[in-house]
Chain A
Amino acid sequence: MNPDYAGLFLALRPEAALVAGALLALALDLSLFRRSRAGVRLGAALWVGALAVLAAGFCAALGARGPAFGGVLMFDTLAVAARIGVLVLTLLTLGAARAAPPGRQPAEYVAMMLFAATGLVLMAAAQQLLLIFLALELASLSLYVISGFDRRRPESAEAALKYFVFGGMASAFLLFGFSLLYGVTGSIDLPQIAAGIAGQGSNPLLLVALVMVLVAFGFKVAAAPFHLWAPDVYQGAPAPSAALVASASKLAGFTLFARLLWVGLGTIHASHEVPWFAPGWFPAVAIVAAASLLLGNFAALAQSSVRRLLAYSAIAHSGALLLGVMAAGRSGLGPLFYYAATYGLATVGAFGAIAAAESGGRCESIADLAGLHRRSPLLAGCLTVFILSLAGIPPLAGFFGKFVVFSAALQGGLSWPLGWLAMLAIALGALALYYYLKVLKQVLVAAPVPGAAPIVVPRATALSLLVAAALLVWFGLNPGQLLGLF
């Protein structure tokens, strides 16, 4: 391989813009805004961050296509769409962060978010085990830090610690799995791994590697039974951090997962007797998907905390997204991307609304949302759109996400386990409505508790909530706009 560093830099302009933005935010905070109030420092850092993300977004939209740097990076449709999606979600998260209390180190917070975003956009394009691992670690370590950023609340530290311990273990699994893959196939490039595997039949070492990788990704995307960190992190982390963990990191994670499984491991054959288990990882992923759907939906029924409810709903959605990953072999990556991107918009919006609601008082349990329609019609309206989209009510994008993923999963009919999983997911969707309506009941129906003050939403936050809601409506009315890309 003849390294082409100029080409590499051109391909990675978005990452460069993000890193430069992070450093600039830190530098400005240390020089110009050194003596300013925390609110001003946060505002300045967020502006710098937003501009950097915008610049990165333009670079990603206009930048390289096709393989870069000898196939280490792959800028295909999915990668470019996911990179832009991650950047949009990051931008919305920065807007939501305006409503959160600034803390003592606002610029560091923004910088860490940008580093996380850097890792996430790299993940979306990585096609080589080494880069995959590095990108994943960059994103994860930054996310651990921002989960624990609120030093006044012990829950935040607990969240970070749990996330770190589980995440670190997942990384170890992943590395072990990767090393086995390398050992078996002699390569770290996904396409060559696929070629190497093709001739192997059912090699037990390969299956061990496969299980290791699946466990690790199960942790990363919060799929049951590897979900244990998710409720605590969603509950304890500062709301903007949780927004990033739940949205952009999900989108990038699933993009990478789909690429790893289909490009790298698509040729594993576990069993020649059962034809519908075409790739060997199918049964394992199907079990994880079913477990996530069941556990997420049933556990969410019992939650009284808004954030824990969103966490369990995220686990359920992970199950549906795994269906999308499995169906991608037959119907392409369009449904998966559509689902992940619109799900990200809805969660980033929901956590943004929670961040704004927290600035006006407690927002722990669902009952704390009572009378939100009086306290802030804007928040109530936007939150209604986000929750209804998560519940999959047309004409919002969440419905079409389900529609495209489930119909892709049903392509093989019911002789394929995927079809049964889709049926299960549809049935559980009706159940899910109960807990989503429980939230909306407080938001729109219940009267505010006496003495609850109106909530003032900062302009940047209001704007990003409105943009997220508008995008959900827009992509719901025009699903073809995203689906047509693929």
Chain B
Amino acid sequence: MSLLPWCIYLSLAGALLSLAAGRRSAGAARWIALATAAGSWGLTLLAAARFTPGPGMQTLVDIPWIPTMGVRYHLAADGISLTLVVLTGLVATSGVLFSWNIGERTGEFFGLFLALVAGVYGVFLSADVLLLFVFYEVAIVPKYFLIAIWGSTNREYAAMKLALYSFAGSAMVLAGLLWVYAAGGGHSFGFAELAQAAALLPRAQQIVIFGLVFFGFATLAGIFPLHTWAPTGHVAAPTAASMLLAGVVMKLGAYGCLRVALPLSPVGFAFWQTPIAWLALIGIVYAGLVALMREDLKFVIGYSSVSHMGFVLLGLAAADLRAVSGAVLQMFSHGVIAGLLFAVVGRMVYDRTHTRMLSDLRAMPLARLLPFAAVVFVIAGMASMGLPGFSGFPAELSILIGSWTVAPGWVAVAAVGVLVAAAFTLRAIRLSFFGSGEGAASQESGKASDHALQFPPITLAEKAGALLLVGATVLVGLKPDLLLDWINPALQSPLFHAVLKGGAP
């Protein structure tokens, strides 16, 4: 376990090294990035293998950091954080593989990429709220540059929008946290100490504080009216960055909601529970409907991410043990699936066809030209729809079951969302990969265009990355207990007891 913090340091070291190496040779930067990303992932897996699940966070490092302010450098892990660091390692490693073709400013790309990854690891492992916040902001800055420098469609606008939304969210979080911290006398940023301080405040203040912190974090998780940064950002980002954004960074927001906001003030949560659930439901259905209408394939996936993150938020809002463990499982599942979808669309398809418009793609017989991509996209699509056998199924199911015990009405709306998700996924699969022949073109000209359209084959790096992600979603789909056995004990900790209800799942 005590090895685990090294995934942060290793990623940071990798960031600096590939930044330095990139000035000489792009190849060296790539290999350094791959080695450190895979190495960090290996560390998380090693830690996971040695992990004994239990309630409460197991301390990894705990030293005073800013003694006068009571801030500690306190890293700790429980089943939830372990699930998410394993996810981070997986997505980061496959993200490096899918970025193998970045040729411009390669060293800087991987430097920023790994800095972002290090920040994400840090957030998941922090047991001191200020430390968590510091890592959270460290993760935001590289996103801006990854999108603005290496992005596509409208990148500068998208990057700025994403950065401003993120920072507006984190300003809300900071305001709420400082308020509680100061009210507690300014002694500690521990989760429990902040919760104690918050409990002493008047109810109205608790409601405002909870709102600030929860919605601040939820901005990054893509909660309904604050989600608009997500589709534009995902679309503009280079492949690996969209994979990280949708796969991991949106989880930072959800993780902050779960780890920081929920235990902070049960009183505040009681007030906000219903509004949050309805915003999540609106997000599920609305984003799904938008995904059904969009022409740009990456927008379809971007909105599908918002829709799927709605399930996570719904699970958190239900505050039922099963729903919350389902939400954590959904974070993992969606991280893998979104990574896979963006990899297929951004790297395998767009980098070869140079279009993401469904109307253009349907004119190409992509399933024949890129069979590997087609297979992966179908698998990812099925996983995304929540078919049994893939990780999305146990996750969404347990969110829905858990929410049913709280408010059946929510589940009815969410079920519509599941149908919409199936609809937009099938539409995307059909139009993108299996669209040829629908036009007026005859068989002859179809063959001719086959010859005209010769794409470079799928590279080994892409295949390796795709297999990693497909393997993960199938593995968790077939045996969700692998992760649930970590997650459920973690939810038994005294901090969560104050907000979560429901018996043992």
A interface list, Cβ under 8 A from B: 331, 334, 373, 377, 388, 393-395, 399-400, 403-404, 406-407, 410-411, 413-414, 419, 422-423, 426-427, 429-430, 433-434, 437, 440-441, 444-445, 479-480, 483-484, 486
Contacts and interface: CB of A to CB of B under 8 A. Distances in A.
Contacts of A423: 175, 179
A196 B51 CA distance: 68
Contacts of B175: 423, 426-427
Given A388-B141, A407-B186, A441-B156, A433 B167 contact: yes
B168 to A, nearest CB: 4
Contacts of B323: none
Interface stretch (B61-69, B294-302, B395-403): B61-69
B182 A426 contact: no
7 contacts: A334-B68, A393-B137, A395-B138, A399-B134, A399-B137, A430-B170, A430-B171
Contacts of A331: 186
A430 B137 CA distance: 12
A434 B168 CA distance: 11
Nearest to B155: A445
Contact of B171 (A410, A411, A413, A429): A429
B412 interface: no
A410 B134 contact: no
Contacts of B156: 441, 445
A377 B111 CA distance: 14
B134 A479 contact: no
Nearest to B163: A437
Given A433-B167, A445-B148, A410 B66 contact: no
A411 B145 contact: no
Contacts of A414: 179, 205
Given A404-B69, A407-B178, A430-B168, 7 more contacts: A393-B137, A395-B134, A410-B179, A413-B182, A423-B179, A427-B175, A437-B160
Interface residues of B, number: 35
Q: What DSSP secondary structure best describes chain A's contact surface?
A: helix
B342 interface: no
Given A394-B134, A480-B68, A410 B182 contact: yes
Interface string B156-191: 100010011001101100110011011100100000
A426 B178 contact: yes
Contacts of A434: 160, 164
B120 to A, nearest CB: 14
Interface in B280-306: none
B133 interface: yes
Contacts of B486: none
B144 interface: yes
B110 to A, nearest CB: 15
A441 B67 CA distance: 36
Nearest to A404: B69
B148 A430 contact: no
B343 interface: no
B133 A422 contact: no
B260 interface: no
The 7 closest A-B pairs by CB, nearest first: A410-B182, A430-B171, A394-B134, A430-B168, A430-B167, A483-B68, A426-B175
Given A395-B134, A400-B66, A433-B163, A411 B186 contact: yes
B130 interface: yes
Interface string B128-161: 0010011001100100110011000000100010
A426 B182 CA distance: 15
B171 A393 contact: no
Contacts of A394: 133-134, 137-138
A422 B148 contact: no
A440 B142 CA distance: 12
A406 B174 CA distance: 10
A413 B186 CA distance: 11
Contacts of B170: 430
A406 B133 contact: no
A422 B205 CA distance: 16
B209 to A, nearest CB: 10
Interface in B448-497: none
A407 B183 CA distance: 10
B379 to A, nearest CB: 36
Contacts of A441: 148, 156, 160
A479 B66 contact: yes
A87 B64 CA distance: 30
